[in-house]
Amino acid sequence: MEFSAQQIADLLNGTVEGDPDVRVNAFAKIEEGKPGALSFLANPKYEHYMYTTEAGVVLVNQDFTPSAPVKPTLIRVANAYAALAVLLDMADQSKKKSAGIDSGAFIHASVSMGDDCYVGNFAYIAEHAKIGKNCKVYPHAYIGEHVTIGDGCILYPHATVYEGCVIGNNCILHAGSVVGSDGFGFAPEEGGNYKKIPQLGNVTLEDDVEIGANTTIDRAVMGSTIIRKGVKLDNLVQIAHNVEVGECTVMAAQTGISGSVKIGSHCRFGGQAGLAGHLRIGDGVSVGAQSGIISNVESGRSILGAPAIDSKAFMRSSVIFSRLPDMYRTIGQLQREIEQLKEKINK
């Protein structure tokens, strides 16, 4: 589809600066912009590309002030990144959608399924599962017994939902994600063996949750592992048994959450962050990449490092890290000089 700059601005409640009739039919990063493409500028570190890009239209924030002449037509909006998301969603919705039940899918006779669902070849939906309307279950996805899935959900190939789990409305499970696998529970026995502890609970995902590829969420020993409304988990995230993740919290790839941790709402976790078990993390906490958290964290804090400390304190400390070898040598030299002075004094 093709749109003019003015049409896009009207849709986004933005204002045009330049040629309102210039037309675009594709998206491009600002550094790769070509004629006929729409791009955006949200991060100031990419501003220099604004003066060389060939994109026809660029979305910018209302407060953007160019430091040189610009060639593209600008559309000023309140939030360029959010506006781009609106346009990308429209483009995605315009794609041809899969529909119907493929002949190679298995759906047990006891399954309850809403209208307008798609189930791909080799998908398996077990006994007494309940699937809402407008859901898409792609090939090789697995839905276990007594699973409940709300409306508008998408399960991509090889997504797995174990028995008894509950998934809310408008959730997305990407390829290879696993919801409801056994928690890591083993009791040590005499002789060094471990007795497996049955994991009898489930996993509950509330509405608007997105689970990245190959992310795993373990079922509870008893009760539920709970992922609250609006949570977004990146690829390769591990959520252990009986964890609770608060509303609209986001986690980057390879984050690992140990058992029985309770995480507040609107938290942010950088990649490879790790949390010890049974901790309490408050609301609005920011955790830097590769942080190791071994104690409770109060609401609103920003932490970094392993073990994690206040992020500003860590940054100050990081300046010292590179100087430690020189400081060590200096301390050694001072110690030797002190010993020499002591010898002179004692003579």
Q: Are 167 and 147 in contact, with CB atoms under 8 Å apart?
A: yes
The DSSP line for 162-191 is: -TT-EE-TT-EE-TT-EEEEPP--EEE-TT
Q: Which residue has the tokens 């860590």?
A: 314
Which of 49, 38, 43, 107 has the alpha carbon at shortest distance from 74?
Answer: 38
Cα dist. 49→43, 60, 80, 143, 307 in Å? 11, 13, 16, 47, 39
* Alpha carbon distance 289, 253 (integer Å): 10
The DSSP line for 93-120 is: HTSPPP-EE-TT-EE-TT-EE-SS-EE-
Which of 214, 144, 134, 128 has the alpha carbon at shortest distance from 178?
Answer: 214
* Alpha carbon distance 252, 237 (integer Å): 7
Q: Which residue has the tokens 């104690």?
A: 295
* Alpha carbon distance 252, 40 (integer Å): 23
* Alpha carbon distance 133, 118 (integer Å): 10
Half-sphere exposure of 160 (CA within 13 A, CB side): 14
Query: Which tokens belong to 89?
Result: 């969603």
Which residues are paired to 296 by β-bridges?
A: none
Of all helices (H) and strands (E), which one includes residue 292? strand 292-293
Residues annotated as catalytic are 241
